[in-house]
Structures are given as C-alpha cells and as structure tokens.
Structure 1
C-alpha cells in the first residue's frame, strides 16, 4: 500500500509540474509574439535560466546526501526509517494541518494588502497542494512557483518572505544561551504584536514545525534535555529552508548532523532524526492529494467567488 501511495504521489506531482511548465511556456510564447508584433524584429531572447537553476539546486541536494552517506554510511538513514511509528505519523498529520491553516490565513491576509481576494478555504487547499508538490518534486519550490502563477506573485512572495523573516528571528532568539534566550524572545514580542495576525500566524507555523522536530527526536529516542533540543531544532528548521535541496532533502540532514555535534550529541544521531523528520513531513503533506488537480482558471474563479461572498478583507 505504501508503494502504491508513493507511486500515486509521484505520478500526480510529475503531471502537475509538467502541466504548469507547459502553461507557463504557452503564456511566455504568447507574450513574446505580441511584443514582436508591436515592436518589430528583435534579437533572440537568452535561454531561460529557471531550469538550469533548478537542476543546480537538485544537484546540490544530491551532493550533500551523497557526502553524508559516504561519511556516515547508510546506517543513520535506515535507522531513521525504522524509527518511525504510527502515532508519530498521526501526530504529524494533525500538526501539519494546523500549520497549513496558519500559513493559508497569513497568505489570505497578505493578499488583501494587494487588493487580491483569496478566501482562507481556497488558500488552505492550495497551500496543501503546494506543500505536497514541494515535498515530492526536485527543487523543493515548484509548489510555491505554481501557487504564485495561479494566484498572483506578489502575495505569494510577500507572505513567504514574511514567514522566513519571522523564522530567522525565532531561530536567532532560540539559539541564544541561557537567560539570553528568554531576553531574545521578549525582544521579538513587540515586533510580533505590531505585525498583527500575519506575524502571529508565522510564529504559530514555525512553532508547529519545531514541534514536529521534537516528535522526531522522541521517536528516535534522543536523550537530550528539552532546553538543548529546542535550539537544535531551530537550526534544523533554518536548514530546511535552504533551497539547495532534493525535494527538501539535503541541507536539513547536513545541518542536523552539525547541530547535534555542536550540542554534545553524535552527528549520526542528528542525521537519523533528520531522516525521521523528513519522512514524517512528507507523509503529513499527503492530504494534498485530494486537492492536487487545479489550474489557473479554477484558482482565479474561486478567488472571485470568494471575494464577492466575503467583501473586502483587511
């Protein structure tokens, strides 16, 4: 059953990425033709660098994983797979549903800044779909690219930047030693309050991802105090956001090995926890299968209907 589910995810994600690329190429061709008709003959445009950049990202993730495998062997990878428990997967599904809703609400609120109307229910389904594609298609950002193409780039880019800034701020506070950690968190509080619901949703989302790391560490059986695991988990989350990855894999595992060594544990233990976290995170995106089919027209129409129902958003 697991192999069938994985095959279905891969098949849908590949078709999803191919359709998005074909539609993007069609739009680009149409715009180029219109420009040529109005401005006359022009020089051939340079070859797009998007695909090259994506393959460099994939190559970077593969290289990091290969380096870790050579350094530590396959043992930590296998241990991470064998450590997974049903209760941990169930909890990952619940927590990810909550973090996805937080991100969807943040996106919906940010869209209002640009006079765009993205109802929270539409945003919730689209965000699940985006996470599933990110977790199964090489590059780790294809889902966000499609989300921006369907619903508009400015809200997507803005809400992603806000999420990253808040996450970096939290990580910076959590890695501070001793009482300085609480001082750092206290210093962040006014900024979060000033940011309103958008900042609060970012904090809750990051906290949920950190909780998943703690669950993965508990599943593996890591014997470190919570005060140590929290900053380690914060560093791993920061590593997860590095785009040089293979569907999310690569930097997360490398940063985990380094962070666990820094805080007194073995690098192999960190790698094992990262593998467990990676599998849990991927499984937690599987509800996106139920909303995987989608296109630009359907997304825009849903937003227009939602906007008429809900009126203006603040």
Structure 2
C-alpha cells in the first residue's frame, strides 16, 4: 500500500474517531433523556419543511457556482451544477473535513471544462462568497446578542479560549500565505485576478452577496423551522436570540476537524445556550436535528455518486 494512501486513510479514520469522541464527551455532561424529549418535539411536517429548505439551499448554491464559473468564462450547465452540488454535499456529509466534496466537484468540473485552474477557482470563490456573508451575519447577530443579554464581559471571558485558538489559526494561516506568496507569485496573481472578476467587480459583487445571503438564510431557516416546531420562542426577541446562537453554530461547523461538523456543532451548542440562560439540551437537540435534516436532504447525491456522470458542461 502506498504511503500516501495509508496516511490518507489514517487521517480519515482519526477524524471519525475525533467526531465520536466529541459527541460522547458532550453527551457525558448533558441529560440524554432531555435531548431525546427535545428531538421528539420536532413535528414531522417541520422536519419535512427543514429538508425542503435544504433542497432550496443546494439549488441556489449551484446557481451561484454556475454564475461564478461563467464570470471566469467556464461553461457549466445549471443541471450539471445541481447534480455536482448534490454529490459534493453528500460527500461533505459523510467524509471528514467537510471540503472533500468540493475538492471532488472542482476536479470533475476541471476535467469536463478543460480549465482545471479556473474550475478550482470557481469553487473556491463561490464558497468564499458564502463564508464572507456567513461571517458577517454571525458577527452582526452575535454582537446584538452580547449587548441584548447584557453579558458582554462574561461572554468574552467564557469564549476567551476559543478566541485565542482562532487567533492562533489565523496567525498560522498568515504565515503559510506569506510562504506561498514567496514561492507562487504567479498563481497568487491569477487567483487575485479571478477573485476580482467573479466576486469584487460590478455587478458580480451584488449577485454574489445576494445569492450568498439567500443561502445563509436557508441555513438559518432550517434551524428556525425546527425551533418553531418545538416551540422554542414566544416572540421576536426569543427568535432573534436563537438565530444568533445558531449563526455561531454555523461558524463552528466551518472548523474542519470532524465529519460534517458533528461533535463540534453539538459541543459549541452545549457551551453557548447556557450563556443566555437556555438549557444546553435545547441547543444540542437543534444541532442534531439540523445535522439530520441536511444529511437526509443530501441523499440524492448518492444517486449521482453511483451514476458517475460529471458536470455535463
């Protein structure tokens, strides 16, 4: 067995182990029966609505990818984009890291389009568009939450360790970027050019922000439907509080250390909900419900995986 294959298999195995450990550790500190009761409060119609919202999420995301590719003069049909996005979503749900599906999507599109670098940039940029909007929404809602709850200092103290960890990751990434810049200025120039063409120029920036805002709304919409079905809020302030917490969960899922954010998402929920006086079991149940809804809605990707067809540019 080649060493690279062995290392890849070991890395995947370790990510699965870490995911299970995170889930088990979170469960140790919580009332499992209470989580089960919370999950039982999700009505079936609301679960179906949550899955329907996830379908809309894939359709809009696929359109955004197609638009980005078009700005880079790479052909991609909408049907092909939807098919590949479903496949990528499914792979991201079952493979560690949450990005391998997107890597596969870029690779397959590159084979079909004949522009491998452009295909990679199209995927990177459309995901970047979504992450920038998601970060903006989470920061906005998180800031409101801190002021509304009147626990700014306490929340900063409780989340101090997380802030230090994030700062360390950012410093490492900046260091790697500096080395990459020194060794690959030609590629960096090409990436900057493509970002400018497909994200920062007019009207691309308006299209990207608008479509990404819809995608982020579908993320939060899944949480909102589940929370509504379980009766987790009685008014606008309660609804906004839960949505602010859920936006922070979405940011936590971006940390690529587990399978589809499982374990990380539930652990962060168990920490965040008590900060605003809500039971941690409520947050964990919402997190589990979200994960299951997205996983089930991604199952059409299995058909495209078995079919083996590519983007059909």
User: TM (normalized to structure 2)?
Assistant: 0.70
Shift in Å at residue 168 of structure 1? Answer: 0.7
8 Å CA contact 2:96–2:257 kept in 1: the answer is: no
**1:284 equivalent in structure 2:** 297
Shift in Å at residue 95 of structure 1? Answer: 1.0
**1:212 equivalent in structure 2:** 222
**2:211 equivalent in structure 1:** 201
Shift in Å at residue 49 of structure 1? Answer: 5.1
**1:235 equivalent in structure 2:** 248
Deviations 1:197-245 (A, max 9, x none): 1221111000111011111222333246112112112111112222222
Aligned ranges for residues 254-265 of structure 1 at < 5 Å?
254-265=267-278
Give the length in aligned residue pairs.
250
Q: Could you say if the C-alpha distance between residues 50 and 240 of structure 1 is closer, same or farther in structure 2, counting changes exceeding 3 Å?
A: same
Q: Report which structure shows greater RCO (CA 8 Å, sep ≥6).
A: 2
**1:88 equivalent in structure 2:** 46
Aligned ranges for residues 1-314 of structure 1 at < 5 Å?
50-152=8-110, 153-177=120-144, 195-223=205-233, 225-295=238-308, 298-299=309-310, 302-303=312-313
Deviations 1:53-108 (A, max 9, x none): 43443333222111101111533553354334321222123211211111111111
Q: Distance in 1 between matches of 2:250 and 2:216?
A: 8
Shift in Å at residue 127 of structure 1? Answer: 0.8
Q: Distance in 2 between matches of 1:245 and 1:292?
A: 22
Q: CA RMSD in A?
A: 3.1
Q: Could you say if the C-alpha distance between residues 227 and 47 of structure 1 is closer, same or farther in structure 2, counting changes exceeding 3 Å?
A: closer
**Where does the alignment leave 5 or more consecutive residues of structure 1 unmatched?**
1-24, 30-44, 182-189, 304-314
Shift in Å at residue 178 of structure 1? Answer: 7.2
Q: Could you say if the C-alpha distance between residues 265 and 180 of structure 1 is closer, same or farther in structure 2, counting changes exceeding 3 Å?
A: closer
Q: Distance in 2 between matches of 1:130 and 1:111?
A: 16
8 Å CA contact 1:135–1:247 kept in 2: the answer is: yes
User: TM (normalized to structure 1)?
Assistant: 0.70
